[in-house]
Structure formats: structure tokens, C-alpha cells
């Protein structure tokens, strides 16, 4: 070939003598292509086959890079078809441009035409498509558009071995130059992983300590020109001059200070790691867009490095500083190899890896770290979500391992404590989770524990209740003094349904009100009647009468936990109250969401009791009255008692039984079918709703004050309710917007 082009190995062969199917296909494509001209074919001594051709390139009058109208290209096909064909630009002065593969020799340059793995690329590639890919690479490079604006920046250096895990905040702290110690973990199969930590986080006398590391940050430089990996300390020094850094001068200064601080002689026998931060820009005048991390490990010891950069000398086995640095010694004899540095898993990186543009740092007090709570927590932690205090009194027992996020090694330990430990070992940096081993319902906890609970709730922005306990939920709503928004999550007994009750940001609709309205949906939607039925098997895991657990498949819990954690994250930007249920179709594993619309609560104080209902209930009962006009009508009230706090929740009502008497000025309630309907409501709601009183309507233009007949009914009601220790309750409904509750007595 002409001296204008680089030589390629192999003997010249005819196209018809080619034996590699891809080479034959490509040679045929070159022969028939409109913008490609065949030159020759060759076969290498190892059996590979080469097709040389001239590519006809569309080039503007002022190309961004020196690409010619005709570029001579060689494509080398491997006999085993195990690797991507190597594409060489044979022109001896072919420019150094982005997307060039590194080779042992700079020329001929190797073109990187795809980011796909070869196993994927060859599924759809033909000789003709490869010809066109090469041409388009040349055309785009000539225009300067090969590397798109939305593509990640090209590396400045390539080639590395073995991972090195760095502190997540390296190069973001007050100093950009730090001393680190590196320990080595056995990764199996002869592989090792290096872990870099700051001196305060590691014992420098540890047997695991193998390397001492210094970190350096260069000035920004444009991406796109990929360099070969430096083989010696001097070559690394020359490379870093592009980032306006004098590595040898910096290293001499650092080693001198380090040697004065750390007197342990055995540290001199450790090897030296250099961690380099390379800020990259998209072009010459742009701002820094990305930080490329590189790490280099010396083959020689620190003692040898200091000698070879003219910092100190060894006499009779002792190291002494030279009075003047010997600048003739520049580390040319110190070989370096590259490590593959990665940052530890920080809050920010956790959010980024989960596709979250901005991380939420809300303070969350989580109560209950059982199956659902533990898995939801770990999902959110792995997304970097929140700053947590975990509260649970329970300990991990063997049966918990069927569905809990903790592994068996923590059996016997407090769930909250070890969940916090697991989170803090997952996320680098300051602790993301704290723990309190406590029962929130036990006022006899130690004073310091109660103080911690109070602080956790007071400082929280969200109180997440995963206890699956109505008493705990009520305690968190009524007895905990905090501005935090309450969110309650739980599974039904079968684990097929998951419910989220989330208050609004201003807490105008609290969790207990949401709970009651959720029950109203259950008793009025036939397809939800089986939601709380306990038809799954229970098993005894220990000898106590309470040592029983439900049989719920782990995959149900995992599926619902993923939905729950995602929804909690979305609620961060949603200030409104939210109630929804997700139901798994166990046959085809589909998930259906049911969204429940909530209405504003209505509360009134009567004596020592508080009546709680909502606008949805009142709208419904006014509609029932209107449908029976001009006659009066009535029925029974359905609700729930909180005897501890003297609260009566009025949730729904049953309409007039068919044996009732309804007249324009008279109503006498019947009882046909009433008992069975109330029993059904109790079953559907797991005994949370029951009969709580009576209601009836008054004619149009009449007040809602009780008549003499109403007083007689109230007396009857008082007699029967007080035998059960419950207050009598009557509701009279009048014209739209008019109603009156009478509790305990009628004035």
C-alpha cells in the first residue's frame, strides 16, 4: 500500500476465497454499495479475514474534524465471531476524535461505531448495514455531531482493573485533597474489592489495610480525546498537566506531611493509591458537566515511590528526607496500574439510580417494622427517601423470616434497631435511620425512651403507621402532639389487598376519619365485601395462646410493598388527603387500584362525648329523606365507638326496614331484616362498625327539634343502650342542611 496508509497484516486473497460468513457478506455488500469501493481482501495468520475498502463520505467545505471525501477503511472479522469486527481508519494522519477505541499502537485508529454489546448488535446487522454504519460514523464525525448533546461525556482515560469504593462525599467536602486508607475485601474467585475510608473510620494498624491513598482534583478539561492509560507515575504526571496539575510536586508535598504525621514504619511498606478527580466539560468554554474518577495503584511501595520522586533517601534501612528535592527523579521507574473507582451509595446517588430528580429529605417517624413496614422502608431507603426514626417493640423471630426484610442473622434482635443498622450500612454518609425499641402504647416505658419518642414525633414531618393496629393508629392521631402528617398502611388478612390512608398536609381530614369513610366503602360496594374476611390459614409458631401468625405469601407482600413505597414517594408532592386500595388478582397476578374519594369531617362536642361524621354521610342521609317525601322515614345509624377517648363515629345508616310505618307526620321503624344486615356489616368490617343509634326525618318546613313521640323513642333508646354502657344517640334530619344529633339526653 501507499505510505499514506498504515499497513495491515495478512496475505492478499480473492473475495471468493473468503471463508468467514460475515466477511463474505461484507465483501459482497462493498461490491454492490453505491458509496463504497473495494480495495482488497486479506487473511491473517490467526485465521481472521480483512476487507479493505474506500468509503465515499459526504463532507462539508468546513468540516469540524479532518475527515476526507474518501477514507480508506479496513474491517477485520474474527474467525470465531465472538467479538465485534474491528474497524480501522488506515490513513496515517487520521485525526484523534471522539469515539475512538484504544489500541496498543495509536495508528491505525480503531473506530467505535456502536455502544451495543456484540451479542445484541450481530442479531440485526448485515454487511450492508455495517457499510452504512461506518459511512455515517465518518459523516457525523466530519460534522462534529457524532457525540450528541444529550449523550454522556466521553472518558478521558479508559482501561482499569478491580473496583475501588470511595466515600460518597469525596471531592464535595471542604477540601478536595484527602488522605484515605484502603482495605481489601475478598470477593471470591480470586477477585478483590478495595474499600477506601477516611482515617477516622478505619484502624491504620488493621491487617486488612493494604494501601494508603491520596486524592487530587484537577482543573476542568474538555472531553472527547481518549488517552491511553499511563503506565508509569511520570506518564500520569504528564497526562495530568492537561488539567493544570503538577502531580509530582503535589505528591512530594503530601508524602512529606504524611510521613511526619504517621510514624509507623510498616506504613512505608504499603503501596500508594492516587485517586484523581477529572472534571469534564462538553467543549473548551463550557462549565463542568461531569466528574470522571480515576485511581492508580503503584506497583512499588510508598518507600520506593518517595525515593524515585527525589523526596527522600534510604540509608541502612532508614528513610531520611533530602534537604533539597532531587527533581531529576520523576517516577519514571514507578509502574502504575488502574483501578475502577466508584462512589459509595449515597442518598443522592440512591435517588438518581431510582430515576428521581430531586430527593425528599422529609423526617419520618415509622411505627411498626413488620413484613410490610420493613419492606416498604427498605424500598424507600434504596431510593434515598427520607430521614428516619424507626419505632417497634418487637424482636425478629424465625417465623418472621418468611416475609421480613431482615435476614436470619438478626434473629432475636430488635427489628427497629437492626433495620436502622441495615439502612445505615446501605446508605453512605451520616446515619439515615435511628431506632427506638419501644411500645408506643405503653406509657410505662423508661423516661428516656418516652423522651425519645416525643422528640421523634415532634420533629417528624410524616408519621408512618405500619403497625396494622387500630389502637396504635388512634393513639398516633389523638394522643401524639405533632404537626406531622399521618399515613397509615396495612394489608388485609389474606395479603391480597393493601390500603393507604393518608391525611392532607394540614391534617384537616385525620386518619381516623379516613378509616371510617373507608369502612363505608366496604359495606356499600359488593365487590369489597370479602376484603377484611379472615379466610387464610393461621399457624402457631410458639406455645403462647397469642403466638399465631397468618399464612401470607411473601410475593404478595413484596408486590404490595413496592406499590406502597412508590405511592408514599408520590404523596410527598400531593398535599390532599388520599385513600386507596390495591387488590391482587391471584389467578392472573393483575393489580387493580380502587381510589376512594373522601369528604370533610364534621365534629361536635356533646357533654363528654365527641361526635364525628362527614359531609358524605350527611349528603347521603338527606338524599334518603328526599326520596321518601312527603312521608317521614328513618332507620338505624351505623358507626363505631372509641370508649377510651369518648368518641362516637357516625359512618353510615340503614334505611327504613320494609315493615316500618311511614306517614307525612309519623314514622314508626320496623325491624324486618335489620339484625342480619347489622351482623353482615360487622363481618365485612371485622367488627369495627356496629349499631350506634336511630335516625328519622321530619316533614318539610319543620324544625329538627324532637317531638313528644321522639322523646318517647329516645327514652326507649336510652333504656336499651345504657344496659350495654353506651350512650343513646338519635339523629333528626330536616330540610337540606338541617339536622340535629341528640346524645345521652334531650333538652
The three three-digit cell numbers of residue 281, written as one number: 466539560
Q: Is the peptide bond before 646 cis (omega within 30 degrees of 0)?
A: no
Please state whether 452 falls in left (phi above 0), alpha (psi between -120 and 50) or beta: alpha
The Cα 239–Cα 248 span in angstroms is 12
Q: HSE on the CB side for 194, CA within 13 Å? A: 27
Burial (CB < 10 A; 0-12, 13-18, 19+), residue 446, is: exposed
The Cα 593–Cα 499 span in angstroms is 10
Strand partners, 743: 729
The pLDDT tens digits for 253-263 are 999 888 888 77
pLDDT given for residue 322 in this prediction? 84
Pairing of strands 290-301, 271-281: antiparallel
Residues 6+ apart with CB under 8 A from 141: 64, 65, 67, 97, 98, 99
The Cα 487–Cα 575 span in angstroms is 12
- Angstrom CA distances, 513 to 160, 613, 674, stand at 60, 8, 26
Ranges assigned E (strand) in 95-200: 100-101, 109-111, 163-166, 179-188, 191-197
pLDDT given for residue 543 in this prediction? 44
Q: At what angle do helices 470-478 and 511-524 cross, to 10 degrees?
A: 140
Q: Are 417 and 437 contacting, i.e. CB atoms less than 8 angstroms apart?
A: yes
Q: Are 33 and 127 contacting, i.e. CB atoms less than 8 angstroms apart?
A: no
Label each residue of 422-482 as H, E or C: HHHHHCCCCCCEEEECCCCCCCCCCHHHHHHHHHHHHHCCEEEECCCCHHHHHHHHHCCCC
- Kindly report the backbone phi and psi dihedral angles of residue 644, in degrees, each rounded to the nearest multiple of 5, phi listed first: -65, -40
pLDDT given for residue 284 in this prediction? 66
For 594, the 3-state DSSP assignment is strand
The three three-digit cell numbers of residue 55, written as one number: 468509503
The Cα 446–Cα 115 span in angstroms is 61
| Global confidence as pTM | 0.79
| Parts of the chain with a pLDDT under 50 | 1, 150-160, 538-548
Residues 6+ apart with CB under 8 A from 744: 606, 607, 609, 718, 727, 728
pLDDT given for residue 731 in this prediction? 97
Q: Are 340 and 163 contacting, i.e. CB atoms less than 8 angstroms apart?
A: yes
What is the C-alpha radius of gyration for the chain, rounded to an integer number of angstroms? 38
For 351, the 3-state DSSP assignment is helix
pLDDT given for residue 231 in this prediction? 85
The Cα 461–Cα 314 span in angstroms is 61
Q: Are 499 and 475 contacting, i.e. CB atoms less than 8 angstroms apart?
A: no
Percent of the residues in the chain that have a pLDDT greater than 90, as a whole number = 67
pLDDT given for residue 734 in this prediction? 96
pLDDT given for residue 223 in this prediction? 55
Q: Are 664 and 632 contacting, i.e. CB atoms less than 8 angstroms apart?
A: yes
CA quadruple 219, 222, 224, 228: dihedral sign: negative
Catalytic amino acids?
632
The DSSP line for 109-166 is EEE----S-HHHHHHH--HHHHHHHHHHHHHHHHHT-SS-TTSPPPPSB----SEEEE
pLDDT given for residue 148 in this prediction? 52
Strand partners, 489: 500
The pLDDT tens digits for 652-668 are 999 999 999 999 999 99
CA quadruple 60, 64, 70, 73: dihedral sign: negative
Residues in the chain: 747
Q: Are 354 and 384 contacting, i.e. CB atoms less than 8 angstroms apart?
A: yes
The Cα 305–Cα 298 span in angstroms is 8
pLDDT given for residue 615 in this prediction? 97
Amino acid at each position: 500500500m501507499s505510505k499514506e496508509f498504515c499497513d495491515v497484516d495478512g496475505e492478499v486473497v480473492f473475495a471468493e476465497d473468503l471463508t468467514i460468513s460475515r466477511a463474505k457478506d461484507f465483501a459482497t455488500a462493498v461490491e454492490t454499495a453505491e458509496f463504497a469501493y473495494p480495495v482488497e481482501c486479506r487473511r491473517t495468520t490467526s485465521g481472521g479475514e480483512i476487507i479493505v475498502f474506500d468509503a465515499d463520505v459526504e463532507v462539508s467545505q468546513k468540516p469540524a474534524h479532518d475527515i476526507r471525501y474518501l477514507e480508506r477503511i479496513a474491517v477485520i472479522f474474527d474467525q470465531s465471531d465472538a467479538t465485534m469486527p474491528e474497524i480501522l481508519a488506515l490513513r496515517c494522519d487520521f485525526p484523534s476524535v471522539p469515539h475512538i477505541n484504544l489500541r496498543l499502537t495509536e495508528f491505525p485508529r480503531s473506530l467505535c461505531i456502536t455502544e451495543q454489546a456484540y451479542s445484541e448488535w450481530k442479531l440485526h446487522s448485515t454487511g450492508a448495514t455495517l457499510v452504512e454504519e461506518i459511512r455515517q460514523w465518518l459523516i457525523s464525525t466530519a460534522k462534529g455531531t457524532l457525540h450528541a448533546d444529550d449523550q454522556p461525556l466521553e472518558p478521558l482515560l479508559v482501561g482499569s482493573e478491580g473496583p475501588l469504593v470511595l466515600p460518597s462525599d469525596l471531592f464535595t467536602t471542604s477540601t478536595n485533597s484527602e488522605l484515605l486508607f484502603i482495605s481489601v475485601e475478598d470477593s471470591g474467585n480470586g477477585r478483590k474489592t478495595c474499600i477506601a475510608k477516611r482515617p477516622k473510620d478505619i484502624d491504620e494498624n488493621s491487617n486488612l489495610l493494604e494501601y494508603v491513598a491520596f486524592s487530587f482534583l484537577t482543573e476542568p478539561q474538555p472531553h472527547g480525546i481518549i488517552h491511553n492509560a499511563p503506565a508509569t507515575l511520570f506518564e500520569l504526571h504528564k497526562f495530568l498537566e492537561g488539567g493544570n496539575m503538577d502531580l509530582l510536586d503535589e505528591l512530594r508535598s503530601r508524602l512529606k506531611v504524611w510521613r511526619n504525621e504517621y510514624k509507623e514504619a510498616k506504613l512505608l511498606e504499603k503501596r500508594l493509591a492516587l485517586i484523581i478527580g477529572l472534571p469534564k466539560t462538553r467543549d473548551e468554554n463550557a462549565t463542568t458537566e461531569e466528574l470522571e474518577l480515576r485511581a492508580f495503584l503503584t506497583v512499588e511501595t510508598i518507600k520506593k515511590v518517595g525515593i524515585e520522586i527525589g523526596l527522600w533517601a534510604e540509608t541502612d534501612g532508614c528513610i531520611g528526607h533530602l534537604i533539597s528535592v532531587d527533581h531529576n527523579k520523576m517516577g519514571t521507574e514507578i509502574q502504575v496500574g488502574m483501578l475502577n473507582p466508584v462512589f459509595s451509595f449515597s442518598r443522592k446517588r440512591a435517588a438518581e439510580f431510582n430515576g428521581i430528580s430531586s430527593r425528599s429529605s422529609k423526617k419520618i417517624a415509622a411505627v411498626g417494622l413488620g413484613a410490610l413496614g420493613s419492606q416498604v422502608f427498605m424500598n424507600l431507603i434504596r431510593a434515598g427517601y427520607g430521614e428516619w426514626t424507626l419505632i417497634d417493640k418487637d424482636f425478629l423471630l424465625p417465623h418472621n423470616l418468611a416475609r421480613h426484610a431482615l435476614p436470619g442473622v438478626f434473629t432475636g434482635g430488635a427489628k427497629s434497631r437492626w433495620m436502622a443498622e441495615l439502612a445505615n450500612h446501605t446508605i453512605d454518609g451520616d446515619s439515615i435511620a435511628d431506632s427506638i425499641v419501644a411500645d408506643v402504647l405503653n406509657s410505662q416505658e423508661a423516661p428516656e425512651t418516652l423522651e425519645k419518642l416525643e422528640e421523634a414525633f415532634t420533629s417528624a414531618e410524616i408519621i408512618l403507621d405500619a403497625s396494622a393496629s387500630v389502637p396504635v393508629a388512634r393513639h398516633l392521631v389523638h394522643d401524639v402532639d405533632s404537626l406531622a402528617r399521618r399515613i397509615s398502611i396495612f394489608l388485609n388478612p389474606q395479603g391480597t389487598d393493601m390500603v393507604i390512608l393518608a391525611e392532607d398536609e394540614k391534617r384537616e381530614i385525620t386518619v381516623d376519619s379516613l378509616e371510617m369513610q373507608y369502612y363505608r366503602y366496604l359495606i356499600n360496594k359488593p365487590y369489597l365485601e370479602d376484603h377484611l374476611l379472615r379466610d387464610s390459614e393461621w399457624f402457631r409458631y410458639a406455645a403462647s395462646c397469642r403466638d399465631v401468625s397468618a399464612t401470607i405469601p411473601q410475593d404478595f407482600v413484596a408486590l404490595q410493598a413496592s406499590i406502597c413505597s412508590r405511592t408514599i414517594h408520590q404523596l410527598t408532592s400531593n398535599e390532599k388527603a388520599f385513600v386507596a386500595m390495591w387488590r391482587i388478582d391471584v389467578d392472573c397476578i393483575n393489580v387493580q387500584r380502587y381510589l376512594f374519594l373522601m369528604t370533610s369531617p364534621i365534629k361536635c362536642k356533646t357533654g363528654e362525648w365527641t361526635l364525628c361524621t362527614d359531609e358524605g354521610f350527611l349528603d347521603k342521609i338527606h338524599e334518603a329523606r328526599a326520596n321518601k317525601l312527603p312521608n317521614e322515614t328513618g332507620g338505624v345509624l351505623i358507626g363505631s365507638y372509641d370508649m377510651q377517648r369518648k368518641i362516637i363515629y357516625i359512618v353510615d345508616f340503614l334505611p327504613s326496614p320494609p315493615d316500618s310505618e311511614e306517614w307525612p307526620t309519623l314514622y314508626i321503624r320496623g325491624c324486618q331484616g335489620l339484625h342480619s344486615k347489622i351482623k353482615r356489616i360487622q363481618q365485612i368490617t371485622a367488627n369495627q362498625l356496629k349499631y350506634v343509634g336511630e335516625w328519622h326525618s321530619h316533614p318539610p318546613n319543620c324544625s329538627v327539634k324532637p317531638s313528644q313521640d321522639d322523646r318517647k323513642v329516645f327514652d326507649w333508646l336510652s333504656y336499651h343502650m345504657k344496659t350495654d354502657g353506651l350512650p343513646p344517640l338519635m339523629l333528626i334530619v330536616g330540610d337540606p342542611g338541617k339536622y340535629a344529633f341528640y346524645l345521652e339526653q334531650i333538652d
